[in-house]
Amino acid sequence: MKLICIDAEKSGATRGGGNTMEKNSEKLEKINTRIARALADPGLKCSYRITDESVQAELRLWVEWSIRLPVDKISYPRSLGPETGIWSKMDALTIAISKIARIEEEDHVRSEKINARTKTGATRREEAATRIRIEEAATFLAAHRSALRRIPALNRKITALQAEQKILLPEMRRANSEYFQIRKVEKTTKARADTDALASGKFWEASKEAVKNYFHPPFARNYLADVSAQWRAALYTEMGSTAWKAGKGDWRHKNTGTGYGYLCGIDDNGDEWGHHVDLSEWLDRDEYGDYGYVATVEQAMGELFGLRSLAELEAATRQGDLLFVPEKEIPADVELRAQPEPWTVRESHTIASPSLRRDGRWFAADAEIVVEHTSHHPVVLPPGKYRLYALPVADAD
């Protein structure tokens, strides 16, 4: 927006001249009629407005008008994939057409230093406003006459550019069709891969959406927080929501966690399993004390097995509901005794080694330790010291 400022004392604004004022008013009325005809002309799309934004010490008129050529825009397909050079060419042609159609426009402020509180202020303002309106209207009408003469030439330019656009349309449709076919094949391939991964029990190889739709945690709202191939597990956290008042007093909502999760998965024997888990000690809280809903499988495993050290969990070996954690030292109050027979930890789970020694959940051996189960794959532990962790179930020893 331009600012045009004129000092009324030096501009020749009349201090009397009633006849001049009447003549200017009649002239402005005729000019406004011509402007109305120009605005109604279907050959051009015009707008014209003068807004009085005066203040006490100054007359201010905001002038804005535009003259444009009506153009029937060519609608072209949105890119279904990454936009290629075809869309760049089409965008460039569209911008060029828009520039040609935008023939002329103005947006500026005319101002004159006339204080409305002086004795002659109101009269001088009225005279100045009428004069400015006549001058601006004359400028607009001259631009409009010029634009009318330019219409044939401008239409020829636009027609040529639109002809180039029409050439691109079949290419754009062909590109979208090819991309659609590629996406269709990818979708089919992905769906087949998801099905195979879930059927084999290796659900972590499936897409996140497939995993989310496969398991059904017992929550009204849930969030798939993590998936682990190492533990053959997926963690869902329970979702809630809460209302809070913004600075302007309007109520808004945000997602929160409830502090609980559901750890589930598919074991190497194909059995599906799941456990509720209290994650309140692991989930972050915001400044209002509300739980988040992002946690890891390892954190949920640690909570379920009662193992607070994630470093120890990382080194552990799991078989079903049992977890074997290597230890550097056995506590002094633990007295290991020889276990010549296979140790039945719980139904169908046995631990055996020629040199196996144990006391409660602590055990050690100087040779390989074999953990067997009727349906799980055997687990072979290297010689060393271990502590056994087990999920609390009804058939535990």
* pLDDT above 90 for 69: yes
Task: Determine, yes or no, domain membership for 182.
Answer: no
Please state, rounded to an integer, the average pLDDT across all residues of the chain: 90
Q: For residue 285, what are the CA distances in angstroms to 169, 258, 262, 290?
A: 53, 11, 19, 5
Residue 168: its pLDDT value, please? 95
| CA distance linking residue 40 with residue 209, whole number of Å | 57
Report residue 355's pLDDT band, with 50, 70 and 90 as the boundaries.
very high
Residue 268: its pLDDT value, please? 84
Extract the tokens encoding 153.
Answer: 């030439």
Q: How many domains does the chain have?
A: 3
Q: Are residues 385 and 291 in the same domain?
A: no
Helices (H) and strands (E) in the chain, counts: 6, 18
| CA distance linking residue 232 with residue 223, whole number of Å | 18
What predicted TM-score, i.e. pTM, was given to this entire model? 0.61
Q: Are residues 286 and 330 in the same domain?
A: no
Task: Determine, yes or no, domain membership for 41.
Answer: yes
Structural domain range at position 380: 316-390
Residue pLDDT, tens place only, 81-105: 877 889 999 999 999 999 999 999 9
Residue 12: its pLDDT value, please? 45
Residues 6+ apart with CB under 8 A from 282: 295, 299, 300, 303
**Burial readout 265-303 (b: 16 or more C-beta within 10 A, e: otherwise):** bbbeeeeeebbebebeebbeeeeeebbbbebbbbbbbbb
Q: Are residues 326 and 235 in the same domain?
A: no
Q: Are residues 161 and 77 in the same domain?
A: yes
Q: 305, 334, 368 — which closes off a domain?
A: 305
Give me the helices (H) in the chain, please. Answer: 18-40, 85-101, 121-200, 208-214, 297-305, 310-315
| DSSP class per residue in 283-341 | S-B-TT--B-----HHHHHHHHHT---HHHHHH-EEETTEEEEEES---TT---EE--S
**Burial readout 118-135 (b: 16 or more C-beta within 10 A, e: otherwise):** eeebebbbebbbbbbbbe
Residue pLDDT, tens place only, 3-27: 555 554 444 444 445 677 888 889 9
Q: 142, 171, 200 — which closes off a domain?
A: 171
Q: 122, 144, 171 — which closes off a domain?
A: 171
Across 353-378, average pLDDT: 93
Yes or no: say if 259 and 272 are a contact pair by the CB < 8 Å rule: no
Across 252-279, average pLDDT: 91
* pLDDT above 60 for 190: yes
Yes or no: say if 176 and 83 are a contact pair by the CB < 8 Å rule: no
Q: Are residues 227 and 95 in the same domain?
A: no
Residue pLDDT, tens place only, 210-242: 999 999 999 999 999 999 999 999 999 999 888
Residues 6+ apart with CB under 8 A from 307: 301, 313, 316, 323, 325, 389
